[in-house]
Amino acid sequence: MNQPEDNDKRNEIAFSRRNWLKAAGGLVAMATSLRAEDVAGADAALELPLQLSINENAFGPSRQAVAAMTDSLKRIFRYPHAQSQQLIAMIAEKENVPGDHILMSVGSGEILLAYGRHFGAQKGEIIAAVPGYTQMIDVMQVLGSKVVKVPLNDKWEHDLDAMAAKVTAETSCVYICNPNNPTGTLCDAEKLKSFAIEVSKKAPVFIDEAYLECSDDFAANTMVGLVKQGHDVMVSRTFSKIYGLAGLRVGYAVASPQRIAQVRAQMSGNPNLMGAVAALASLKDKEYLDDTRAKIKAGRDAIHAVLRDLGKKHTASQANFVFFQTGMPIEKFQEAMRNEQVIVARPFPPMLDWCRLTIGQPAEIAHVHRALRKILG
């Protein structure tokens, strides 16, 4: 269970990796010869089938992150203490909170699991939207907690009023994924803020911002400010999505030192040297961030345009994936796409004729367009 979404599926699928992923995978072996330009942002030659089911960043990491890792290879015999401290300091500065409000983790999935283990042990109730991301919920259920599932509203967004109405003395915590996975929808920022302030007086609120930096307006939508104001809110972030470092497993949470101590007690790992130096370099590379966000948005807009042309409903995704109604059972659509050499995501009950598809590079999107027109046209 200690895996990001669909990792089990990942193992089942025999697919050839993109060029840049191959290069990144060979990083250690090629320590002395690898140059940043061999990996970062390399335009992928189309390698089929396209792996568009697990929301990786098709545009690859920052060149500066690759250069920093290459440079650090000669220091891998050292523990990453100094680099981890630098990373915490830099994240604290970015989030505008003291360093003791930052908890580093091995991917943000580890935070979700540790939080789930801490609150799941109370055997109470977790309130969550459906369909939504289930990593925390699954672990809480295993520990004997009950999931109170609240359907999305008619715009496929969190129904915050309905969720607030479900809070009782039994509630252990409330999970909000913003943007939501699999719909990619954002909550209205002001509404989410008042929801979190009110609800967190009764039960802790967890806000998963894994995809928020892919959205058009990160600053207006992040809820980190609530942590600083002293509300019982934890916010998680990851370097796996917009920063293109999924393989390195670096994530973090922002919360009060008290909540951090509880969650840390359930954790066993720390980011490694490569993860720390790559994350540090990525944070400094503002150009990379803006450029990648623009590429993701262009891909999202292009697929949405084709879907509209085909008369297919889609959500207002702000993430690095789209979610749309296929008009057929998802298993049938998955198979049809597989025949066109495109791997799409798993079913998301109860939206069983909808499909989640990760944004790829332009050549991949062009291939997806042809497949969509053939199957849905």
Ligand X SMILES: Cc1ncc(COP(=O)(O)O)c(C=O)c1O
C-alpha gyration radius of the chain:
20
When the beta carbons of 5 and 125 are compared against ligand X, the nearer one is 5
Least Å from the CB of residue 221 to ligand X: 14
Distances in whole angstroms, Cα of residue 311 to Cα of each of 325, 328, 338 = 10, 14, 22
What's 114-147 look like in SS3?
HHHHHHHCCCCEEEEEECCCCHHHHHHHHCCCEE
Least Å from the CB of residue 10 to ligand X: 11
- DSSP E strands in 131-224: the ranges are 146-151, 171-177, 205-208
When the beta carbons of 136 and 375 are compared against ligand X, the nearer one is 136
Single-letter code of the amino acid located at 217: D
Instruction: Find the residue with minimal CB distance to ligand X.
Output: 107
Task: Give me the phi and psi of 224, to 5 degrees please.
Answer: -60, -30
Least Å from the CB of residue 112 to ligand X: 6
Distance CA 349, CA 242 (A): 26
Query: Contact residues for ligand X (CB under 6 A)?
Result: 4-5, 55, 107-109, 112, 133, 177, 181, 208, 210, 238, 240, 246, 251
Chain length of the chain: 377
Least Å from the CB of residue 108 to ligand X: 3
Pairing of strands 251-254, 102-105: antiparallel
When the beta carbons of 20 and 133 are compared against ligand X, the nearer one is 133
Least Å from the CB of residue 339 to ligand X: 26
When the beta carbons of 240 and 315 are compared against ligand X, the nearer one is 240
Task: Give me the phi and psi of 237, to 5 degrees please.
Answer: -140, 165
Least Å from the CB of residue 33 to ligand X: 28
Distances in whole angstroms, Cα of residue 209 to Cα of each of 72, 234, 251, 370 = 29, 10, 11, 32
Least Å from the CB of residue 319 to ligand X: 8
When the beta carbons of 38 and 318 are compared against ligand X, the nearer one is 318
When the beta carbons of 187 and 246 are compared against ligand X, the nearer one is 246
When the beta carbons of 210 and 273 are compared against ligand X, the nearer one is 210
